[in-house]
Chain A
Amino acid sequence: GAVVSQHPSWVICKSGTSVKIECRSLDFQATTMFWYRQFPKQSLMLMATSNEGSKATYEQGVEKDKFLINHASLTLSTLTVTSAHPEDSSFYICSARMDPASNQPQHFGDGTRLSIL
């Protein structure tokens, strides 16, 4: 089945640091990838939609200068949390989707737990 790999799985860093999270589709090409954020005991909230070769589309209330998304190839999207602060601590999850014509749902990575001290 479709596999999405996310790295790293856990990051602890100091306030002010920038953190990069990678999302890779291992066995399929994903023209579109998605980045979600989940706070404890809450729902997954879509942050942005990442399209290969173009700028990401951010959801309302998500700071695009804070959360930089790059989708340079059909198998890789990155999320960089710039100048991270404790309030950015959260669980970040990416997902990827094959060509819509494939009739497949989104497949998720295992997430990255980000802790900012």
Chain B
Amino acid sequence: DQQVKQNSPSLSVQEGRISILNCDYTNSMFDYFLWYKKYPAEGPTFLISISSIKDKNEDGRFTVFLNKSAKHLSLHIVPSQPGDSAVYFCAASAYFGNEKLTFGTGTRLTIIP
């Protein structure tokens, strides 16, 4: 039972344009969401997070949007850069203090120069 889903296994975006990665979840107990970036043969690197009391969080080129009623979140990267090419995972937990993360299956983002 995949509680966190990333339905697009891959995405290609032109350099300079906006990249939008999507994530859906089914467990209504999830209250805190994170995005991680992963290069091959490396561990995930934390990018940005959001708690359910917010609907948007921004950090530089990265913005995460949360639509709690739709159980949907998205990561926007603008402008996209070649170094952004990686696999992106969304993850969720029941609350910030709950350390158990449930990960999505990942989306491979390729930025085309």
Contacts and interface: CB of A to CB of B under 8 A. Distances in A.
Contact of B43 (A42, A100, A103, A110): A110
A6 B43 contact: yes
* SS class, residues of chain B in contact with chain A: loop
Contacts of B36: 108
B42 to A, nearest CB: 5
A43 B99 contact: no
A108 B99 contact: no
Interface of A: 4, 6, 9, 32, 34, 36, 41-46, 49, 93, 95, 97, 100, 103, 105-111, 113
A43 B105 contact: yes
B97 interface: yes
A43 B42 contact: no
Contacts of B100: 34, 46, 49
